[in-house]
A and B are shown apart, each in its own frame.
Chain A
Amino acid sequence: MDLKPLFEPRTMAVFGVSSTNYRHPANEIFTKNLLRYPVKVYGVNPRGGTVNGQSIHRSISEIPEPIDLAVIAVRADFVPDVLSECIRAKARSATVISGGFAEAGKRDLQERIVAIAQEASFPFVGPNCLGIYVPSHVDTFFLPGERMVKPAIGNVSFVSQSGGILVDHLIKFAGEGVGLAKAISIGNKALLGELDLLDYLAQDPATRVIVFYIEGFGPNEGRAFVQNAGKCGKPIIVLKSGKSAGGSRAVSSHTASLAGDYASFSAALSQYGIVEAANELELISFCESLSAYAKPIQGRVGIVTVSGGHGAMAIDACTAHGIVVPALPEDVREALRKNLSPSVREIASLANPIDLTGSGIDDDFVATAETLFAMEEIDCVLALLLPYIPGITADLGAKLSSVATRSGKPLIAYVPHVEKYAMLIEGFELNGAPVSPSIEGAVLMVEALRRNRPC
């Protein structure tokens, strides 16, 4: 099945558009694509009429050109007929937004639409979903366009069983500067599931990191998913819910008790180098660092800061995650000391973490970063920045990023996230270095690089 028309449609038909009920989800989808996206959109409703000055077609067969993507938002009972109509009219794909299938106890109805699609090798997403959002291309989410918070265009694609979780994470992406390639809400995943989208996104040049929110897999689907994910070559992040479910079943062996549904899920993921995020904070941190750096590290970190407390907190967080903070050899320390500014030279602490003190200036950071990046023993540098220190300028982000780029090793920064410090943060982010609003978050970014093991 060719999934491309789902994501790159040139033409789109929205079923269920109503000339009398403007709040119908189909109207929202029709209008936003008409006004905001380059896709050519047609409304379909057997009753006809007009919406936004556009006349509604009574059937897909009346539309003068072939349809790449059909968006179906009609009552569940009508979906099988609409789907068959689309197939007859040689439409190339669909998203079924309508609810009222397996999730409402109507498994038969769901099986019927799957059978219809399978017979024609016709790909569809859903039912009971929001569908697809590709920035600047297409948006089948029935949410008012002006109320959606849209992240910048980027390289992270997000596949979610839950539409709500997906949209909320797009808001978080926007807040933390994570760029989005494609967002797909798969709902009941009756035909297309995680496995199909994994295979598609693995080949998608716009996608560098793939995120999944998963509630559960069908029989043996998890096995195929991790095996394909392990071969995919792109970092994959999974957020799982329903971890505590299934505990009520009687269990007859110790192994069955210890290797419960979630324990097996988690073990299989890490066996194949898939990065499991425990919660939303981890998910966002992992997305930020893996979208910046796809190359795995062992996790040996050099830390530079101007505050002993920040260094100590970072060491604790690193230790808790099993990330190593190697000591600097005597000769390296002496060489670095000579490169520091005179007021810092005598008082800086050059163990790892390196504390440049409140007298530190941009040049001291640059000299320290050059030393750390040059060390064989260190494969990642963490810069904990306090923007209110007098000697630090708004330029420091750009300066440190360029040292990192030259070295080819990842740089991760901590800067408090308030509007006032935006220039410093931009200096990092525009140069491809992720910035966390917390020390723990910055260490989680290192952790993501350590756990990611693409082949």
Chain B
Amino acid sequence: MLESHPDILRIIEEARGDGWVLEAAAKQLFSLAGFAVPRFALARTTEEAHRFAGEIGYPVVAKIVSPRILHKSDVGGVAVGIGNDGRLAEVFERFRGLDGFQGVLVEEMLSGIELILGAKIDVQFGPMILLGMGGTGVEIYRDVALRMAPLTEKDALAMIDGLKARRLLEGYRGAAPVDRGKLTETIRIFSSLVMELEGRIESIDINPLLCSAGRCVVADARIILKSISGTVSR
């Protein structure tokens, strides 16, 4: 994967100074690696934000872009369901006051079940892949499956079936089921990517991975790089 996409390594090297790959760059990386990502643009000014929102159509999502903010929701740095220019301008102004503000990510609003797909390089066991119910409550519900990479298709299916919320994915109470094939494939590609990045990363969160009947989309992601100096800058 890395040979055919040298840009993946370029993105990682450019993020070295921050210690982690910010959302926009991370999404670009995942897009290069073959993952579906939402349409998004980085707006430095309100005008740019309005122009892009106009192109994709309201409602949109807005997220703070700052190398100093690792968990955007924790500081009120995510706004969803923005319906018009006025509301977008308000959000833009509010984000401007947050630590390390560099701009606003304006993104199409997608629906689906929020999963987390993550990776961690374990000292004893090497690359581990995590699949679970995602969103901001992920560490409260802790409904996750964990396996050592690389993963086979059978591993990926066992992880999906190992979740307590499995029935939610299978079309609970009349809802359309999540595309199991797409999800399995997404987990497989992720596992391969992680195996190739093993020496460069510490952990990855794709959270949420938005899954619906038709697709699995990387709606937010961060990649924590392996620290060379011993600490990760926040």
Given contacts A252-B70, A254-B138, contact A268 B207 (CB under 8 A): no
Q: Bin the interface of chain A by size.
A: 20 to 34
Q: Mark B183-218, 1 if CB is under 8 A from A, else 0.
A: 000000000000000000011110100000000000
Cβ of A253 under 8 Å from chain B: yes
Q: Bin the interface of chain B by size.
A: 20 to 34
Bound CA span A257–B203, Å: 10
Residues of A within 8 A of B130 (CB): 255, 258-259
Contact, CB under 8 Å: A220 / B126: yes
Contact, CB under 8 Å: A223 / B148: yes
Contact, CB under 8 Å: B146 / A259: yes
Closest CB in chain A relative to B209 CB, distance in Å:
12
Contact, CB under 8 Å: A271 / B147: yes
Cβ of A205 under 8 Å from chain B: no
Bound CA span A259–B130, Å: 7
Cβ of A263 under 8 Å from chain B: yes
Contact, CB under 8 Å: B205 / A255: yes
Given contacts A223-B125, A226-B148, contact A259 B155 (CB under 8 A): no
Contact, CB under 8 Å: B146 / A264: yes
Contact, CB under 8 Å: B120 / A221: no
Question: How many A-B contacts at CB < 8 Å in the complex?
Answer: 94
Residues of A within 8 A of B119 (CB): 255
Most chain B CB within 10 A, of A217, A252, A255, A271, is at: A255
Contact, CB under 8 Å: A219 / B146: no
Q: Mark A247-275, 1 if CB is under 8 A from B, else 0.
A: 00000111111110101110110010000
Give the residue name and chain of the A residue nearest to B231 (CB): A250
Closest CB in chain A relative to B155 CB, distance in Å:
7
- Name the one of B124, B132, B204 contacting A221, with C-beta atoms under 8 angstroms: B124
Contact, CB under 8 Å: A254 / B232: no
- Name the one of B120, B125, B232 contacting A222, with C-beta atoms under 8 angstroms: B125
Minimum-distance CB pairs A-B, first 3 = A255-B118, A222-B124, A267-B146
New contact pairs (12) apart from A216-B124, A254-B207, CB-CB < 8 Å: A217-B125, A218-B124, A223-B126, A254-B138, A255-B119, A256-B202, A258-B146, A261-B124, A264-B122, A264-B146, A267-B145, A271-B155
Which residues of B line the A interface, CB within 8 A? 20, 70, 116, 118-120, 122-126, 128, 130, 132, 138-139, 142, 144-148, 155, 202-205, 207, 222, 224, 232, 234
Which residues of A line the B interface, CB within 8 A? 216-223, 226, 252-259, 261, 263-265, 267-268, 271
